Amino acid sequence: MNSKNKVSIILILIATVLIIGIGGYLIGKKQGQAESEATTQSTTEKITEAASEEKIEEATESEATEEKTTEAKSEEKKEEKDGDDNGDGAIYVKVTSNSPWEKDGGYGFQCDVMIKNDSSEEYDDWEIQITGFKDAEIENLWNAEYEIVDDVLKLKPVDFNKHIGAKSENKDIGMIVNVKSKDATKNIAKGGTLIVDGKVVAEADAAEKIREEKKKEREAKREPRPVEEGTPLDNHGALSVKGTDIVDKNGEKYQLRGVSTHGIAWFPDYVNKDAFQTLRDDWGANMIRLAMYTDEGGGYCTDGDKDKLKGLVSDGVDYATELGMYVIIDWHVLHDLDPNKNIDEAKLFFEEMSSKYADQDNVIYEICNEPNGSTTWDDIKKYAEVILPIIRNNDKDAIIIVGTPTWSQDVDTVIPDPITGQENIMYAVHFYAATHKENIRNKAKDALDAGIPVFISEFSICDASGNGGIDYDSADEWMEFINDNNLSYSSWSLCNKNETSALIAPECSKTSGWTDDELSETGQWLKDTISSK
């Protein structure tokens, strides 16, 4: 084979190898692309499938959540409805009357009527039927129209108070009633049948039933206060003021929880040892406040019997001391507006009292109950700076309570100019829960924050007149504030006067040893409150 042919054969072999290689490469590449595409497609399908499944799961969860939410809302509505059925839907009438007065050979009295709607329902018309009016005559009536049929007084609304809103009160209905005998005043029911939109919604005893329900609720929440061995005075001794707190002989915070008499000139029989012992042993009270009016009829500075009134104060202090209780001697300014009006009498009175009780650890002095009218803090402070040195000259360390403007509601006016150079001074705050609410609490809180010691020396749970309906919700808010701030308190009033704030039922003539049934609605609430934490 010549050299030319050898070269040709070599070239052919090289070309063949190249062709086979390139073809294999191309085939492999194609297969790789196919496999890659298949893998990509598979991955995409898996991702899509996973995403789809995730969306299904999300959708399922969303549906489940929505179902639960719907179910919860449904259950919530059911609970709200059940709540209405269990008392939230209560609507009732409360009828109260004051003590009768002699008039034209018979008796007259004022009767107040309130519609209380605790439900979320609204009503557009009402009628109240009250029994006990067979021999009664309506002298004056406000905010209603009336007719008497046999024994029943029927009250109907005037245009402006026809509507009863949800969670509301229609409480400005009242009348002056004349009857022939004093016993007839007791025939007025304490509740009334209420007809709204033509349908009876509350029978005459509904208010009593509501009261019992609320009492059961309070009892269920109660945690009884531990009973102390020994008397309060034995255990805690002389009290003093530290910061805004009352502290005992051991320097521990202490809270006085007590009851105020009504005017001792008018209800002297309640100043007795058995009454105070009932309050101590059955209620858990550790303090009595002796309210001696200064300027009213029968008051100390007007036509009252000074010796008799001082004798009642002395008896009250003696009974409290024998029982190991604390006692407030209250110079009960009210009608006199400005304590400076009778300052000369006050000087003599507190000179005598502080000299007499200088060595006792349980006596507290309240030097002006409720300054009011246009009386300012400057006026009160001027008076206090005369009376305080007289007491301190005899009794160096007793707690002394100073009243504040506007019936002892404006304690915040003390903040910029408190009494200085004196220890164990406190400032009065008074409230009536149905009238005085967060606005007065804010004033007390501002005073406390400023280091002004506050003492709740008088309060009740009705309106500021001492009568009208009870506001349990506001009362509970006040007690929470009182306990949170370790404030001492005294409730008005120990008597059976026919008004809401009286602690004894008007038909009860006992002056001690009262059963729960012999207490007023306010009295039962206070007993529960004092005796529990």
Residue 258: closest CA among 485, 526, 79, 528? 526
Q: How far apart are CA 335 and CA 357, in angstroms?
A: 28
216 close to 139: Cβ distance less than 8 angstroms: no
Catalytic annotation on 147?
no
Q: Which residues pair with 366 in a beta bridge?
A: 330, 401
**Residues, the chain:** 533
Distance CA 207, CA 193 (A): 10
Are the C-beta atoms of 164 and 122 separated by less than 8 Å? yes
* Contact (Cβ atoms closer than 8 angstroms) between residue 359 and residue 327: no
Among 347, 320, 315, which residue's Cα sits nearest to residue 331? Answer: 347
Contacts of 533 (CB under 8 A, 6+ apart): 223, 224, 225
Helices (H) and strands (E) in the chain, counts: 11, 20
d(CA 491, CA 523): 9
Q: Output the CA torsion sign for 456, 461, 467, 471.
A: positive
SS3 (DSSP) at 292: strand
Catalytic position from the list 296, 366, 370, 521: 370
Inter-helix orientation angle 306-322/343-356, to 10°: 40
Within 10 Å of residue 465's Cβ, how many Cβ atoms? 15
Under 8 Å between Cβ of 174 and 112: yes
- To the query of whether residue 76 is one of the catalytic residues in this protein, the response is no
CA distance 82 to 79: 5
φ, ψ for residue 304, nearest 5 deg: -75, 160
3-state secondary structure of 12: helix
From 296, 366, 458, 499, the catalytic residue: 458
- Sheet of 145-149, strands arranged across: 145-149, 152-156, 126-131, 193-196, 199-202
β-partners of residue 504 are 519
Helix (H, G, I), strand (E, B) or coil at 457: strand
Structure tokens at 200: 């009876």
**Residue 142: other Cβ atoms inside 10 A:** 11
Q: By CB neighbour count within 10 A (0-12 exposed, 13-18 middle, 19+ buried), where does 130 fall?
A: buried
Q: Which residues are catalytic?
A: 370, 458
